[in-house]
């Protein structure tokens, strides 16, 4: 009877895993690939030496792309196939969560944990993405299971498996080094009283360094050089808020999940204590490193720490089961093996709070991803012979659909790192026009824009295309912008009128160029040559005001200088860079208007004083605009 009961309980877990497989694979090929997934596809198609060279400069190592390299040769390159590898790792992660949770808290807790995973839009998003995050979560869970196995029976084979899993985790994502370090320390502590186990642990550490060390040495410039753009320093509060929003969708749900994980420590056995120490230790190590060594230039997103969420989930299921056991002990007639199932009552508030974001995820046909397929199809239907398209940034998801749709026009992949030289952009546009455009006459260019501020912080591409033509139209596809320009080559540089305006001895405005609207409703283009003259502790914001004859504001543009990723406070001193800005004008404007520019403090709103020709004010007039 007990055997049949045991098979019934395991049958429930198997059923839940089959349900998870159906959920993970649902509409897998429906949503478009987006920017990051296109990068995965691009790297997986490379030769292995080229892949290693490219990933040495990337934010994550090579192992996932190597797996995907061989996977697509067997499964193909459809959206479903590309994401199928992540689904496989996601199912492995769910099975490992079930096994580890059952080991610590029993099978009711395991069922609760798997169900909670299926209700998490965070987990479902990344288990359906052609990226390494599901593989990272599965790797850390497998490493946790291997750590427990090596502690129980420290054989050479188990230590070898542990070493391979640790190396694989570290080479999947650099954030995987945090759980690897924590579990290596835990295994060492657990082996300290057994000489043979301690010796094998030492050999494992040497083997791990031999497997991972060469790659870290090969890719070490990636760690020594900050990002090409600046980010505010990380803070403990900021990291906690990002994790709460990313993992659970809000601090309220995160607190409830934290309370359930705390309840998992009721009547803890050694396994549960090791789970708590391992999870909290990994979290503390990550926080310490990010807040000290990499506080300024490390890039963080909750998905990089998906392993913490995966380690948290068993505690959520375990805590609910422990609360159910406490409740069941107070109700007569409920046998001890069945008491844990009452923990479902403790999970109802959490599941209720997770239901709304889950329904949103389920109802969204794109599952939160930008419709790249539709964007490329939009261009493919309209592009004509002699025209070309530009992906700014270099966007491999656009190329993926461009090739699959067989668009009969060239796609020019733009820069992948920031461009600061106007002459270089102008030369690149002219070279593209010679290669892809007609010998004479106007040249039309389509532009796919996504995070243009990363590679074009000064707005040079947009500014030079407008200075040498006009925008026919534009349309957003999620966060991907598709624009259509008509230009009149050869490409000329920005118009330039010298100016000397001194803002508080810290920033100088050394020139201005205006791209005047060509018809009602056309944009006003303003190019300002800014230079940092001294230290700028707090980057200001810039305003561009269009005023009528009475001084009334009729149009304006306010924003960072030039953007929050590359503020003027980080520029080299005494070097003027042109910053292009669009100003949208109302269609009904007629007459003569003044254009006034200034700087202001983003916190207080106070304008910076500016000195021009000996007079001081809070702004400087840079030109006039006549609209018939």
pLDDT at 238: 86
Structure tokens that stand for 440 in this block: 């004479």
The answer to whether residues 262 and 320 touch, using CB atoms and an 8 Å cutoff, is no
Q: Is the pLDDT of residue 440 over 90?
A: no
Q: Is the pLDDT of residue 102 over 80?
A: yes
The answer to whether residues 410 and 398 touch, using CB atoms and an 8 Å cutoff, is no
Q: Measured on CA atoms in the order 461, 464, 469, 474, is the torsion positive or negative?
A: positive
- Between 297 and 12, name the one with better pLDDT: 12
State how far the Cα of 94 lies from the Cα of 99, in Å rounded to an integer: 9
Q: Is the pLDDT of residue 4 over 50?
A: no
- Stretch 524-543: mean pLDDT: 95
Q: Is the pLDDT of residue 121 over 70?
A: yes
pLDDT at 232: 63
Could you read off the pLDDT of 18-60 as tens digits, one per residue? 999 999 999 999 999 999 999 999 999 999 999 999 999 888 9
pLDDT at 9: 58
Could you read off the pLDDT of 332-347 as tens digits, one per residue? 888 888 899 999 999 9
pLDDT at 293: 78
Q: Is the pLDDT of residue 1 over 50?
A: no
State how far the Cα of 64 lies from the Cα of 41, in Å rounded to an integer: 11
Question: Residue 484: which H helix or E strand, with range?
Answer: strand 480-487
Dihedral class, residue 222 (left if φ above 0, else alpha if ψ from -120 to 50, else beta): alpha
pLDDT at 618: 95
Q: Side by side, which strands form the sheet with 553-560?
A: 553-560, 541-547, 591-600, 620-627
pLDDT at 223: 67
State how far the Cα of 363 lies from the Cα of 357, in Å rounded to an integer: 10
The answer to whether residues 541 and 559 touch, using CB atoms and an 8 Å cutoff, is yes
Its pTM stands at 0.92
- Stretch 279-296: mean pLDDT: 88
The answer to whether residues 321 and 303 touch, using CB atoms and an 8 Å cutoff, is no
Q: Are strands 388-392 and 443-449 parallel, antiparallel or unpaired?
A: parallel
The answer to whether residues 87 and 326 touch, using CB atoms and an 8 Å cutoff, is no
Least confident of 72-81, 94-103, 556-565: 556-565
Least confident of 37-51, 134-148, 441-455: 441-455
pLDDT at 21: 93
State how far the Cα of 65 lies from the Cα of 142, in Å rounded to an integer: 19
Could you read off the pLDDT of 205-252 as tens digits, one per residue? 999 999 999 999 999 877 666 555 556 667 888 889 999 999 998 889
Q: Side by side, which strands form the sheet with 497-503?
A: 577-583, 524-532, 507-515, 497-503, 610-612, 615-617
Percentage above 70 pLDDT, the chain: 96
Q: Is the pLDDT of residue 7 over 70?
A: no
Q: Is the pLDDT of residue 443 over 80?
A: yes
Among candidate residues 26, 42, 134, 30, the one with its CA nearest the CA of residue 85 = 134
pLDDT band at 294 (very low <50, low <70, confident <90, very high): confident
- Stretch 274-283: mean pLDDT: 97
Q: Is the pLDDT of residue 3 over 60?
A: no
Structure tokens that stand for 616 in this block: 């001081």
- Stretch 450-463: mean pLDDT: 93
- Tell me the backbone φ, ψ of residue 94, rounded to 5 degrees: -65, -40
- Stretch 91-119: mean pLDDT: 96
Q: Is the pLDDT of residue 5 over 90?
A: no
- Stretch 196-205: mean pLDDT: 96
pLDDT at 526: 97
Peptide bond into 562 cis (omega under 30): yes
Q: Side by side, which strands form the sheet with 480-487?
A: 411-413, 388-392, 443-449, 480-487, 469-477
Q: What are the counts of helices (DSSP H) followed by strands (DSSP E) for the chain?
A: 23, 15
- Sequence-separated (6 or more) residues with CB below 8 Å from residue 68: 40, 43, 44, 82, 85, 130
Could you read off the pLDDT of 468-478 as tens digits, one per residue? 999 999 999 99
Q: Are strands 591-600 and 541-547 parallel, antiparallel or unpaired?
A: antiparallel
Q: What mean pLDDT value characterizes the chain?
A: 92
Record: fold of 497-627: Immunoglobulin-like (2.60.40)
Helix/strand/coil percentages in the chain, nearest 5: 55, 15, 30
- Stretch 287-301: mean pLDDT: 78
Q: Is the pLDDT of residue 614 over 70?
A: yes
């Amino acid at each position: 009877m007990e055997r049949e009961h045991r098979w019934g309980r395991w049958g429930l877990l198997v059923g839940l895993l089959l349900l998870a497989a159906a959920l993970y694979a649902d509409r897998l090929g429906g949503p478009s690939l987006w920017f990051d997934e296109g990068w995965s596809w691009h790297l997986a198609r490379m030769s292995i030496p080229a892949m290693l060279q490219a990933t040495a400069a990337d934010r994550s190592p090579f192992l996932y792309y190597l797996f995907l390299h061989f996977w697509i040769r067997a499964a193909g390159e459809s959206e479903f196939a590309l994401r199928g590898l992540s689904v496989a790792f996601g199912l492995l992660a769910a099975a490992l969560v079930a096994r580890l949770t059952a080991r610590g808290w029993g099978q009711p807790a395991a069922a609760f944990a798997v169900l909670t995973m299926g209700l998490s839009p965070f987990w479902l998003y990344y288990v359906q993405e052609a990226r390494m995050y599901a593989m990272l979560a599965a790797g850390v869970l497998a490493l946790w299971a291997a750590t427990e196995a090596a502690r129980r029976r420290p054989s050479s084979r188990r230590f070898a498996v542990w070493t391979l899993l640790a190396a694989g985790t570290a080479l999947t994502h650099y954030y995987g080094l945090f759980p690897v370090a924590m579990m290596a320390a835990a295994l060492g502590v657990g082996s300290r009283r057994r000489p043979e186990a301690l010796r094998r642990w030492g050999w494992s550490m040497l083997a791990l360094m031999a497997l991972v060390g060469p790659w870290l040495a090969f890719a070490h410039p990636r760690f020594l050089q900050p990002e090409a753009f600046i980010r505010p320093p990380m803070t403990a509060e900021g990291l906690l808020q990002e994790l709460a929003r990313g993992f659970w969708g809000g601090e309220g749900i995160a607190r409830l999940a934290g309370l359930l994980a705390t309840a998992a420590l009721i009547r803890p056995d050694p396994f549960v204590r090791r789970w708590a120490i391992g999870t909290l230790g990994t979290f503390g190590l990550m926080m310490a490193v990010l807040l000290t060594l990499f506080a300024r230039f490390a890039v963080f997103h909750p998905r990089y720490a998906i392993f913490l969420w995966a380690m948290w989930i068993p505690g959520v299921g375990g805590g609910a089961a422990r609360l159910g056991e406490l409740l069941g002990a107070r109700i007569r007639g409920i046998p001890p093996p069945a008491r844990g199932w009452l923990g479902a009552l403790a999970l109802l508030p959490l599941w209720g709070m997770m239901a709304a974001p889950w329904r949103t995820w389920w109802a969204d046909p794109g599952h939160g991803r930008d419709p790249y397929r539709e964007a490329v199809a939009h261009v493919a239907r309209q592009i004509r012979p002699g025209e070309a398209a530009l992906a700014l940034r270099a966007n491999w998801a656009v190329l993926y659909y461009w090739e699959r749709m067989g668009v009969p026009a060239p796609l020019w992949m733009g820069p992948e790192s920031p461009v600061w030289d106007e002459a270089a952009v102008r030369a690149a546009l002219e070279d593209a026009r010679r290669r892809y455009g007609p010998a004479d006459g106007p040249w039309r260019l389509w532009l796919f824009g996504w995070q243009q501020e990363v590679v074009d912080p000064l707005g040079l591409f947009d500014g030079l295309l407008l200075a040498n033509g006009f925008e026919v139209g534009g349309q957003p596809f999620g966060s991907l912008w598709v624009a259509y320009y008509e230009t009149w080559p050869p490409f000329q540089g920005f118009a330039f009128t010298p100016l000397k305006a001194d803002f508080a001895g810290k920033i100088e405005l050394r020139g201005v160029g205006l791209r005047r609207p060509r018809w009602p409703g056309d944009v006003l283009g303003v190019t300002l040559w800014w230079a940092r003259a001294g230290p700028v502790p707090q980057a200001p914001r810039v305003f561009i005001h269009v005023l009528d004859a009475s001084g009334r504001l009729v149009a304006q543009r306010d924003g960072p200088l030039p953007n929050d990723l590359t503020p003027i406070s980080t520029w080299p001193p005494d070097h003027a860079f042109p910053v292009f800005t669009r100003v949208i004008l109302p269609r009904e404007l007629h007459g003569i208007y003044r254009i006034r520019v200034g700087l202001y403090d983003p916190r207080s709103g106070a304008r910076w004083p500016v000195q021009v020709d000996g007079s001081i004010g809070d702004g400087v007039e840079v030109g006039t605009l006549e609209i018939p």
